[in-house]
Amino acid sequence: MHRQEIKRLIGKVREKGFALIPLKLYFKHGLVKLELALATGKHEYDKRQDIAKRDAQREMQRAMRNKNG
């Protein structure tokens, strides 16, 4: 990457709540290359929804195990 690109990404990550996500790591002509993505983090309500779904899934699994066992 060029210096300006790196500075721009650092600025975005620091000020706007973006995150750098590594997508791919590979070797090319003796160099290591990394493909990055600039993404926003999850909002609090998104996290709560995911936790609720996960808990519901666990409860269903427990109920199925208890029914069969």
Per-residue pLDDT of 31-54, as tens digits, reads 999 998 888 877 777 788 888 889
Question: For residue 69, what pLDDT is reported?
Answer: 59
User: Residue 42: which of 16, 25, 10, 17 has the closest Cα?
Assistant: 17
Alpha carbons 11 and 50: distance in angstroms, whole number: 29
Side-chain-facing half-sphere of 39: CA atoms under 13 Å: 9
Is residue 9 scored above 90 in pLDDT?
Answer: no
Task: Tell me if 13 sits within 8 A of 20, measured CB to CB.
Answer: yes
In the chain, the percentage of residues whose pLDDT exceeds 70 is: 99
Give the pLDDT band of residue 27 (cuts 50, 70, 90): very high
Q: Is the pLDDT of residue 12 over 70?
A: yes
Cα–Cα distance between 47 and 58 in angstroms, integer? Answer: 17
